[in-house]
Amino acid sequence: MTQIIHLPGIGNSGALHWQSRWESADPSIRRFDPASWDEPNLSDWIAALEQAVRAARTPPVLVAHSLACLLVAHWHEVSDLPIKGAILVAVPDPASPAFPAQAASFAEAPRTRFRFPSLIVASADDPYGSLPYAEMRAEQWGSALTVIGAAGHINGQSELGDWPEGLALVRNFAGRL
């Protein structure tokens, strides 16, 4: 069975977020643990991701949301630890006025093609990242792209509940690796 590591964005994922709901339903899913969710520091987040991947029994699948999508791009540049792949949900655009100032250290995300398979999941009306931005990142990073329609930032406020369609995307992606 593929190990999954959740990488929430700034502020962590609350009880209504699909990541938290999936973890409640499946205790084998792990969540990385940076020092601060609200004042993210890129170096700390990279170290926390490195520790989580190193602790995995087998190369994991990373499931990142929002700011953590940019984290994966930065981590990819500095780590050679093996992962099976990464799913990047709601990639934020650092040039967007909605991008949080306290996440500025993440803004210059690498454009390098990933060394592992990846899938970007985007919403047609994400206030933090436009569809053209997600398309550009998919091309740069060598990621497949799935657009799920109008689902906002694909978070707890999107009222997705357990988001079974997202879980099916993860299972399908992991099953092909």
For the chain, what is the domain count? 1
Contact 161, 167 (CB under 8 A): no
Q: Which residues have CB under 8 Å from 116's CB, separation 6+?
A: 76, 82, 83, 84, 85, 86
The pLDDT mean for the chain works out to: 96
Contact 34, 67 (CB under 8 A): no
Distance CA 84, CA 138 (A): 17
Q: Is the pTM of this model over 0.85?
A: yes
Task: Give helix 42-55 / helix 67-78 axis angle, nearest 10°.
Answer: 70
Positive or negative CA dihedral for 166, 31, 66, 86? negative
pLDDT single digits (tens) 52-73: 999 999 999 999 999 999 999 9
Read off the tokens for 96: 């967007």
pLDDT single digits (tens) 111-149: 999 999 999 999 999 999 999 999 999 999 999 999 999
For 164, the domain range is: 4-176
Residue 49 sits in a domain of what CATH number? 3.40.50.1820
pLDDT single digits (tens) 161-176: 899 999 999 999 999 9
